[in-house]
């Protein structure tokens, strides 16, 4: 199969997955997670509100440029069992979001990835509000530890009671853990799966260039942080 045919097959598969993501949930009612203390805002999983898919794609790309194909592929993997995208909403506008993934080989630790507040709504306390809501949500699901990696936002997380920690080996290989923190051409070696996705498996992505396994632990000048949630 030529590279052009491979890309065409992959794009058709992605279009199918996006349509499936919309159609499988569009008739289901979705109530916001009852976590937000401010009634002006709601916290909603993306897979419960697929109509916000394009807003999420645009918001993420406003901060970290990636192809629409890569964005949609990651966003449509949101599911109840993790990885999950949680959205901070005000009426019908996505003000912020983050991705939550289980740490490899654990059942009580997660990684926060792609944490972002829309530029027009920053410096209003929404970042801390979203972070606390995420913590409350995962804590109710039995999560005890939250990990993240940042550059330049250490003060924000320290203010929210995170501590600087040593990186752990289990944090290697997350699809967005590095790519939405720094610019990289590396790709991770594992493809996350979503239990709600059906249909044929994706054809292989065309190999335009050789790729190396993403080793986020080797990236310099990044700060690893952790928060232990109170029981």
- CA distance readout (Å), 86 to 51, 135, 144: 14, 11, 18
Q: What is the mean pLDDT of residues 173-177?
A: 57
Tell me the average pLDDT across 76-86: 95
Report the DSSP pairing between strands 145-150 and 109-117. parallel
The DSSP secondary-structure symbol of 201 reads P
pLDDT at 171: 78
Compute the distance between CA of residue 89 and CA of residue 112 in angstroms, rounded to an integer.
Answer: 18
Q: Look at residue 189 and tell me whether its pLDDT is greater than 50.
A: no
Q: What is the pLDDT of residues 130-149, one digit of tens each?
A: 999 999 999 999 999 999 99
Which one, of 11, 42, 29, 24, lies nearest residue 194 by Cα?
24
pLDDT of amino acid 191: 31
Give the pLDDT score at 117.
97
Residue from 35, 54, 132 nearest 93 by CA: 54
Please name each of the domains of the chain with its CATH number: 3-228 (3.40.630.30)
Q: What is the mean pLDDT of the chain?
A: 78
27 pLDDT higher than 50: no
CA distance 202 to 74: 13
Please compute the mean of the pLDDT values over residues 88-115 and round it to a whole number: 95
Cβ distance 96 to 42 under 8 Å?
A: no
Among 135, 136, 91, 97, CA closest to 117: 97
Whole-model pTM? 0.71
Rounded mean pLDDT, 181-185: 36
Between 211 and 153, name the one with better pLDDT. Answer: 153
Instruction: Tell me the C-alpha distance between 43 and 58, whole Å.
Output: 19
Peptide bond into 89 cis (omega under 30): no
pLDDT in tens, 195-226: 444 445 555 544 433 333 344 555 557 899 99
pLDDT at 139 (0 to 100): 96
Cα distance between residue 111 and residue 162, in whole Å: 13
State the average pLDDT over residues 86-111.
95
What pLDDT was estimated at residue 208?
A: 37
CB count in 10 Å sphere of residue 127: 22
């Amino acid at each position: 199969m030529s590279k052009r045919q491979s890309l065409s097959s992959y794009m058709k598969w992605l279009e199918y997955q996006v349509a499936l993501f919309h159609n499988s949930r569009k008739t289901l009612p979705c109530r916001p997670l009852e976590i937000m203390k401010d009634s002006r805002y709601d916290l909603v999983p993306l897979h419960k509100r697929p109509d916000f898919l394009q807003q999420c794609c645009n918001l993420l790309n406003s901060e970290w440029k990636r192809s629409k194909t890569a964005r949609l592929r990651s966003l449509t993997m949101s599911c109840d069992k993790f990885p999950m995208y949680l959205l901070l909403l005000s009426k019908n506008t996505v003000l912020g979001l983050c991705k939550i993934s289980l740490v490899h080989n654990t059942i009580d630790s997660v990684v926060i990835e792609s944490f972002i507040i829309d530029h027009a709504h920053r410096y209003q306390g929404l970042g801390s509000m979203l972070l606390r809501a995420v913590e409350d949500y995962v804590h109710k699901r039995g999560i005890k530890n939250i990990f993240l990696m940042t550059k330049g936002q250490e003060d924000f997380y320290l203010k929210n009671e995170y501590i600087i920690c040593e990186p752990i080996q289990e944090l290697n290989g997350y699809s967005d853990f590095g790519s939405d923190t720094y610019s990289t051409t590396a790709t991770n070696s594992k493809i996350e799966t979503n239990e709600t996705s059906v249909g044929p498996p994706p054809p292989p992505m065309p190999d335009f260039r050789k790729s190396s396994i993403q080793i986020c632990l080797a990236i310099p000048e990044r700060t690893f942080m952790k928060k232990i949630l109170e029981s």
